[in-house]
Amino acid sequence: MMKELQEFMTHLEVEKNYSQYTIKNYQLDLEQFLQYCKDKDIFYQTITYSQARTYVSYLYTEKVEKPSSVSRKISSIRSFYRFLANSNIENYSFHLLKLPKKGKRLPKYFEYNELEELFQIPDLSTPLGERNAVILEMLYATGIRVGELVQIRLKDINHEQKTIKILGKGNKERIVYYNSITEKKLQLYLNSGRKLLNQKDNDYLFLNHLGGQLTTRGVEDILNKIIKQTSLIKHITPHMLRHSFATHLLNEGCDLLSVQELLGHESLSATNIYTHITNDRIKDVYLKTHPRSKK
């Protein structure tokens, strides 16, 4: 890996506190771009606006990328050049490009009955089952990202207040809340299953079967195994529990600013997408309950 790219990856990890998943996507996007420059005999530091446009055309025509993927790749390249500018390597060719318009995709979420089925799957008579039950409950109760979940340490939890200190994107701290059901399963895990798993005196909350820190990939594998044991016919991702958290809060009357704070969104526009879902639900409730609508 070239020196500048390696330094940028370190910058994303140390200074930006991005997840390993996000960093890997940046790396793949930039390696593809730099390989293209090498193949076309283009010096990346002096790439022109015309050459940048040609690269975007290449992504569409030869790589058959979707607009959302092209937009992400351009954003990755822009971030890289902003980083290089700190070393007096300035090039704004990609900043002059317009990002492709992306169609709005509504976030997928679980209905209440689907969540209840998920929660019944973990076997509470085993250490891993106790852990998995807490993972499900905590993701839904707090709305935190999986990358934030696996970073929770025992000292971050206030059991009396039922709060957890979370270190989110950009090293920004926030407090999230959980409920009595989650606390009950958490205590079972801490007093039983975790003690059996903790062979390495680890202070992370969630441990793998070897006693090490559970990874984001590990959580994804756990959820995939759980969904296969249910009757649900849908692809599950950890983010669906986060989407469900936000959607259900809004459905129950929580205001948008509070949901924004709980999710750790910097911008309200990132939270606004959930209003499309709740508006559909409001319409459905209206049509089913208003006397004139039922006729």
Query: So what's the pLDDT on residue 112?
Result: 87
User: E strands along the chain, which residues?
Assistant: 157-158, 163-167, 173-177
Helix (H), strand (E) at residue 134: helix 127-142
The answer for residues whose C-beta is within 8 angstroms of residue 57's C-beta and 6 or more apart is none
Radius of gyration of the chain (CA): 23
**Structure pTM?**
0.63
Please report the pLDDT score of residue 256 as a whole number: 84
Rounded to an integer, what distance in angstroms lies between the CA atom of residue 71 and that of residue 101? 8
Angle in degrees, 0-180, between the axes of helices 256-263 and 238-251, rounded to the nearest 10? 160
The DSSP secondary-structure symbol of 191 reads: I
Give the C-alpha separation, 108 to 274, whole Å.
Answer: 10
pLDDT number for residue 17: 85
Q: Is domain 112-286 given the CATH code 3.40.1080.10 in the classification?
A: no
Written as tens digits, the pLDDT of the chain (295 aa) is: 688 999 999 999 888 888 888 899 999 999 999 999 999 999 999 999 999 999 999 998 888 888 888 999 999 999 999 999 988 889 999 999 988 776 566 678 888 888 999 999 999 999 999 999 999 999 999 999 899 999 999 999 999 999 999 988 777 889 999 999 999 999 999 999 999 999 889 999 999 999 999 999 999 999 889 888 888 876 777 788 988 998 888 888 888 888 888 888 877 777 777 776 666 666 666 667 666 655 5
The pLDDT of residue 6 is 93
Q: Give the residue extent of every domain in the chain.
A: 3-96, 112-286
Assigned CATH topology for domain 3-96? DNA polymerase; domain 1 (1.10.150)
**Domains 3-96 and 112-286 fall in the same CATH topology:** no
Tokens of 198: 């903790």
Determine the pLDDT at residue 21: 84
Catalytic residue numbers read 145, 169, 239, 242, 265, 274
Beta bridge partners of 163: 158, 177
